[in-house]
Amino acid sequence: MRFDVFTIFPGMFSGPLSESILRRAQERGLVSVHLHNIRDWTTDKHRSVDDEPYGGGAGMVMMAPPIVHAVEDVLGAELHTTPVILLTPSGERFTQDIARELAQFPRLALICGRYEGIDDRVRIILNARELSIGDYVLTGGELAAAVIIDVVARLIPGVIDPESLAEESYSSGLLEYPQYTRPPVFRGLAVPSVLLSGNHAKIAEWRRQQALCRTKARRPDLLQRANLTPRDWKLLAECPPDPFAHPEMAERTES
């Protein structure tokens, strides 16, 4: 999968792309990220990418010509088959479903906005899809584009362990159950005993209940959309209190 990123701050991507899973995915040829500096498509001596908004108002607006020329030059004939994404806080909310949709394409173009926004003709001319990564305002679209690259790249076959993806689809739409590893007791807090029992059916049921009950407590909106079985509803009706919510309620042992 190839990502073409259009930005005035290409340096903002070096950290996220040069570590861990994304780095390995690039080394193994599964993912490539091409950074394009929009300033390279300016024509004036100051290499301007922004100007004052028509109609007045605070801040500056990114001009259409350098962005449109950059994307057209880089994508060429593939412009018609490549999704062009524009990162903006006023876009449609980016979700795992959208990530799965985008991961089907061999190539994606990501345009990072700065200042007060981008001349709306960019969206129209490039048939761009506007996406927001959440209801908050970043200083620009670069971090949002890095998030999209990260989320989409891990869905590409071979980038991560297929078992992890399989577990995600099993728990589809629910928050994750809590995880523990050694030591069995830390600062007086014991790992829930069922996880040490070796009883795989009981462990699976405990995890399902934890995922359901956490989702109910933290993201009740997600429960509406999850496909729950009658057994799930029973587990939900019997949610245990969070043993670690208050130290005095925790399962304590000597250590």
Cβ-closest position to ligand ADE? 144
* Least distance CB 81 / ligand ADE (angstroms): 24
Q: Does 133 bind ligand ADE (CB under 6 A)?
A: yes
Collapsing DSSP to helix, strand or coil, 78 comes out as helix
State the Cα–Cα distance between residues 246 and 186, nearest whole angstrom: 15
Separation CA 43–CA 160 (nearest Å) = 43
Residue 16 vs 141, nearer CB to ligand ADE? 141
Between 49 and 144, CB nearer to ligand ADE: 144
- 134/158 with CB nearer ligand ADE: 134
Interacting residues of 96 by C-beta distance below 8 A, sequence separation 6+:
151
Site string for ligand ADE, 100-129 (x = CB under 6 A): -------------x----------------
Q: For helices 200-218 and 230-237, give the axis angle rounded to 10 degrees.
A: 70
Q: Which of 80, 87, 143, 88 lies closest to 110, judged by CA?
A: 87
The interface with ligand ADE within residues 161-190 (CB under 6 A) comprises: none
Is residue 247 near ligand ADE by the rule CB under 6 A? no
- What is the chain's percent helix, strand, coil content, to nearest 5? 45, 15, 40
Restricted to residues 134-163, the positions that interact with ligand ADE (CB under 6 A) are: 134, 136-138, 140-141, 144
Q: Give residues 79-98 in contact with ligand ADE (rule: CB under 6 A).
A: 87-89
Residue 108 CA to residue 201 CA, distance in Å, equals: 42
Question: Burial letters for 106-123: b for 16+ Cβ neighbours within 10 Å, e otherwise?
Answer: eebbbbbbbbebbbeebb
State the nearest-atom distance from the C-beta of 140 to ligand ADE, in Å: 6
71 touches ligand ADE (CB under 6 A): no
Nearer to ligand ADE, 62 or 212 (CB): 62
Q: How far is the CB of 148 from ligand ADE (least distance, A)?
A: 9
Residue 128 contacts residue 67 (beta carbons within 8 Å): no
Can the peptide bond before residue 243 be classed as cis, meaning omega within 30 degrees of 0?
no
Nearest residue (CB) to ligand ADE, 16 versus 140: 140
**Rounded distance between C-alpha atoms, residue 87 and residue 142, angstroms:** 8
Nearer residue to ligand ADE within complex by CB, 33 or 87: 87
Does 132 interact with ligand ADE (rule: CB under 6 A)? yes
Closest approach of Cβ 89 to ligand ADE, in Å?
Answer: 4
In the complex, which residues of this chain contact ligand ADE (CB under 6 A)? Answer: 87-89, 113, 132-134, 136-138, 140-141, 144
